Amino acid sequence: MTEETEVTQPEILRFNGEEYPIDGLSDKAKYLAGQIQDLQSQSNAQKARLDQIEVAVRGFSDLLTEELAPKEETSEE
């Protein structure tokens, strides 16, 4: 039976055009990088939510425009 050895690449922080091995960062640098990553994630989620809100506003505006449009009376002959 042969054993397979998995080779893993060290995790890298890419910041300001530079690459830093995560293992070599201080705890404070790891914390700050984590905060930035979390804030970017929150920002992306907020942008997606704003897109949803803007589409919903347009949809409701279209429905209101339709509701306020003069109605044609239908005559039964």
Listed by start position, the domains of the chain span 12-66
DSSP 16-70: TTEEEEGGGS-HHHHHHHHHHHHHHHHHHHHHHHHHHHHHHHHHHHHHHHHHHSP
Q: What is the pLDDT of residues 39-77, one digit of tens each?
A: 999 999 999 999 999 999 999 999 999 999 998 876 665
Reported as a single tens digit per residue, the pLDDT across 16-46 is: 999 999 999 999 999 999 999 999 999 999 9
User: Which is nearest to 10 in space by CA: 1, 22, 18, 2?
Assistant: 22
